[in-house]
Amino acid sequence: MVDMKRCQRPIELFEENRDKFNEAVAKGLVPNFSGKNLSDMDLSGCDLRNANLSGAYMRGVILGGVDLSKANLHGASLRGARVSGCLFPLEIPAAEIMMSIEKGTRIRHIKPKQEE
């Protein structure tokens, strides 16, 4: 199993251990890449639907078909990202996403409070 706490280079998870990473997520691991540099990585096929990507630098990242619907993207930058088929959280307006992709601005994403 992938030990997220010991992994200093997230790129190893996706390029060499993608299947193990997705298995760990399926077993309840919540990926935390807050503040990490994920630039130019191919994240297609990764289970990131609940990931913490707050403050992540994701310049040129490939997110084709990735489900980010419940991910925390607050403060993430997507300059030049390829997002064909990517599912973003409903509460982030398309204009906000496009500004981040085109200009590199940080995404403002405040997740709605869960109803009890």
**CATH number of the domain to which 81 belongs:** 2.160.20.80
Count up the domains in the chain and report the number: 1
41 part of a folded domain:
yes
pLDDT at 20: 82
6 part of a folded domain:
no
Tell me which residue range forms the domain holding 57.
30-109
3 part of a folded domain:
no
pLDDT at 77: 97
22 part of a folded domain:
no
Lowest mean pLDDT among 5-19, 26-40, 57-71, 94-108: 5-19
What is the token pair recorded at 21?
Answer: 């990473």
Q: Is the pTM of this model over 0.85?
A: no
| pLDDT mean across residues, the chain | 85
pLDDT tens per residue across span 93-114? 999 999 999 999 999 987 666 5
Per-residue pLDDT band at 83 (split at 50, 70, 90): very high
**HEC profile for the chain?**
CCCCCCCCCHHHHHHCCHHHHHHHHHCCCCCECCCCECCCCECCCCCCCCCECCCCECCCCECCCCECCCCECCCCECCCCECCCCECCCCCCHHHHHHHHHHCCECCCCCCCCCC
100 part of a folded domain:
yes
20 part of a folded domain:
no
